[in-house]
Amino acid sequence: MLIRNVRIENAESASDIRVEKGIIREISAHLEALEGEEIIEGQGGLVLPPFVDCHVHLDTCLSLDATGPNLSGTLFEGIRVWSEYRKKLDKEEVKERALRTLGMYRKKGVQYIRSHVDISNDLTALEALLELKEQVRDEVEIQLVAFPQDGVMTSEKVRGNLEEAVRMGADVVGGIPHFELTREHGEKSIQYIMEIAQKYDRLVDLHCDEIDDEQSRFLEVLAAKAYETGMGSRVSASHTTAMHSYNNAYCNKLFRVLSMSGINIIANPLVNVNLQGRFDTYPKRRGITRVKELSENGINVSMGHDDIYDPFYPLGNGDMTQVLLMGLHLCHMMGYQELNDSYRIITYNGAKTLNFEEEQYGLAVGKPANFNLFKGRSFFEVLREREGIQYSVRKGKIIHRKE
């Protein structure tokens, strides 16, 4: 396959890319087509590595018709509505919804996904998604997080399910310290989760401080544990929206431990701008972590869609540029250079969060031929025009082509 006349990651000049046997074989200003070679005319458009969604719940996506609505719009009502529905979860139904969700992601050029899976009640959803993960491996790489939605400290059953989920093959250990009964329970939950992760050699990704309470300060506990255990960048904190409300002096102190730890932060702007600020009158807080300041301090920040048409978020279609755009607006990251470079948040930063091997991700000779082709000549144009992707290529095969 020859992809002609494309700009690789905002490059000033265009290149041609040759793909053979699923690998990028050549990149050059001009390559002659071989006999019978499949040709994609890039017309000067942008090529980027595939998008990475670092945080979604494939078990809840597209369930809103069945669960009924979340009338208050709070995270807590979302959890309540979901908890009712999950009692009658069916493996085939979970798979069917997740497969439809993955179809949406494919059209939007997302080839890497980290999905949390609620294991609090039982392991039905995890079983479904472990099977699905293998089934779709050629088109999308999925990491599964064993996610104890109810918290772990008050229920032996949830702790049992969590450990069993990891034994069954979950890649990441999850948690939700701010939802535990007390601050002390929250801290203990982090200790417990880190021990499980070390015992089974797994990554960690907690729903951390997803609340507007400026007193919710579990991120520092998690970062300190990541530092002390040496787990570092194998640990991620999702949401961290309480940071929006911390005072600047505390944030300054917090950023030191975040930098020391090497922990990753995952922001979910679409869902948190919906769920947060719900107890505010006016002014209403934006409900997002400090993406701009974290990034400026060298802390790795990526993003996630979090929810699609479920009790936590009624909209969404798997489009990570929509997620990013919301985040850039909310975080005042609207300078030309910030916008143009922001593709890294939903590509490279995501790959780093998911702990991919460097040889497996990115656009260079010898790497797997996984990429998206856009009509815009730069990412700034892609964001401004929002025309979507023209082609998504995975292991040298076109898996989506714009009609």
Active site positions, annotated: 210
- Of 57 and 290, nearer to Fe ion (C-beta) is 57
Count of residues touching Fe ion (by CB under 5 A): 1
The residues in 249-308 that bind Fe ion, with binding defined as CB under 5 A, are: 306
229/378 Cα distance (integer angstroms): 41
Residue 86 CB, nearest approach to Fe ion (Å)? 15
- Of 147 and 371, nearer to Fe ion (C-beta) is 147
- Of 54 and 331, nearer to Fe ion (C-beta) is 54
The kind and range of the H/E element at 5 are strand 2-8
CB of 4 closer than 8 Å to CB of 41: yes
**β-pair partners for 146:** 117, 173
- Of 17 and 208, nearer to Fe ion (C-beta) is 208
- DSSP state at residue 361: S
DSSP assignment of 254-288 equals HHHHHHHHT-EEEE-HHHHHHHTTTT--SSPP---
- Of 163 and 306, nearer to Fe ion (C-beta) is 306
Residue 299 CB, nearest approach to Fe ion (Å)? 20
The residues in 301-330 that bind Fe ion, with binding defined as CB under 5 A, are: 306
Q: CB-hemisphere CA count at 13 Å for 383?
A: 26
318/354 Cα distance (integer angstroms): 18
43/326 Cα distance (integer angstroms): 29
Residue 18 CB, nearest approach to Fe ion (Å)? 40
204/338 Cα distance (integer angstroms): 29
Whose CB is nearest to Fe ion? 306
| Nearest alpha carbon to residue 1 among 403, 402, 395, 400 | 395
Q: What is the dihedral of CA 129, 132, 138, 142, to 10 degrees?
A: 0
The site map against Fe ion for 59-98 (x = CB under 5 A) is ----------------------------------------
- Of 330 and 373, nearer to Fe ion (C-beta) is 330
Residue 206 CB, nearest approach to Fe ion (Å)? 10
Sheet holding 371-374, edge to edge: 23-28, 15-20, 2-8, 39-48, 371-374, 389-394, 397-401
Residue 207 CB, nearest approach to Fe ion (Å)? 5
Residue 59 CB, nearest approach to Fe ion (Å)? 11
**β-pair partners for 239:** 208
What would the two tokens of residue 55 be?
A: 């945080």
Residue 72 CB, nearest approach to Fe ion (Å)? 18
CB of 158 closer than 8 Å to CB of 119: yes
CB of 122 closer than 8 Å to CB of 87: no
- Of 82 and 255, nearer to Fe ion (C-beta) is 82
Which residues bind to Fe ion, rule: CB under 5 A?
306
